Amino acid sequence: MRGILLLLCAGALWGFNGLYVQVLVQAGMGPLSIVFVRYLCALVVLGPVVSAASAQVQGNVLALRPEHIACCVGMGLLSNALGGVLSAFAIARVGVSTTTVLLYTAPVFGCLMSWRLYGEALTRQKLGAIACNFVGVVLVVSAGGGLATGGSNLAGLAAGLAYGFTYSLLAVLSRPIVGNSHPLAIVYYGSLTAVVALALPALGSGELALVFQPVPALATLLYGGVSTVLANILYQRGMAGGVETAQVAVITSVEVAVSACIGVLLLGEPCTVGKLAGLGCVLGSIAIMNAHAKPGEAYGVRMVLTAEQLIGFYGTQTDLGGAVKSVRRHREDAL
């Protein structure tokens, strides 16, 4: 439950992303420059945070095992940098609404990859939650007719689907390293990789000076500090809480609900029956995905002892404490 709540908080913070991006676009910045300043600001914010955390643990929180570096670089290149570029391309070709729908094909990709890579069970409950989630997202973004004006550019649709795939890789690539590396290290190296990858095109655009205006500067600080640093730390800690990889994208889809509420409350967008129904489906999908979750079922492994195993545990121990320790060791081996 703690992991689920942390992921919900991360998704809620990501729900403000559209507001920050809108401010930066109105200031005259292009998508590549926006993605670049987002992660550059994240690195600036992470500097003192990493120093304080290293002093607290009396060690270097940025230290990584060699085998984990590839995962962090992969997240930075694929989920952060490439995902930002694909998002910008898709929005330019098919519009924001259609891109949002295509983004939330991510739970499908995440469920399939976690099934094949990590052996997580592919259950009817998960498939039903993913279907409910996708229907909800379609209802939310199409409530104002956005899909009708999105267009049907084939390249834009392909970019949107690829964007959903790169988004799902965030959870898939995080799985091997969460709990083994400090969350600050994961966020830091992911942001650093994105900055390095996007530096040349962003610096060549001549748009970075626009970020020093008061309102864009505030939006950049919130975008990089809150929606990137804080949200991703919550995300990594949530991933370490035993939540299955397939569940993650559905849980963080609360982002769509928060974004829709911001549009209604702050941007004057209409609150229609279709939008409310879509929000209900999104929230319902989160409830379906996490219904009846039991301790020990992470990664699709169930801890169900047979009668023979119970007799073995209690027959070889002279006290209840020793038997309980044997059960715990068996459960850890299963996971």
Residue 232 shares a structural domain with residue 316: no
Cα-to-chain-centroid distance, residue 235: 6
- Give the closest residue to 246 by CA, choosing from 7, 6, 2, 5: 7
Residue 174 shares a structural domain with residue 267: yes
pLDDT in tens, 36-80: 999 999 999 998 999 998 888 878 888 888 878 888 888 889 888
Residue 67 shares a structural domain with residue 216: yes
322/314 Cα distance (integer angstroms): 8
278/282 Cα distance (integer angstroms): 6
pTM of the model: 0.71
Q: Which pLDDT belongs to residue 298?
A: 43
pLDDT in tens, 210-249: 888 899 999 999 999 998 899 989 988 888 777 777 778 7
Residue 200 shares a structural domain with residue 273: yes
Residue 247 shares a structural domain with residue 316: no
How confident is the model over 252-258, as a mean pLDDT?
A: 78
- Neighbouring residues of 283: CB distance < 8 A, sequence distance ≥ 6: 136, 254, 257
Question: What is the span of the domain harbouring residue 319?
Answer: 303-335
Residue 128 shares a structural domain with residue 67: yes
Q: Which pLDDT belongs to residue 322?
A: 64
The pLDDT of residue 26 is above 50: yes
Residue 249 shares a structural domain with residue 196: yes
Residue 91 shares a structural domain with residue 119: yes
Residue 171 shares a structural domain with residue 94: yes
Q: Are 251 and 129 in contact (CB under 8 A)?
A: no
Structural domain tally of the chain?
Answer: 2
pLDDT in tens, 96-110: 666 667 777 777 777
Amino acid (one-letter) located at 3:
G
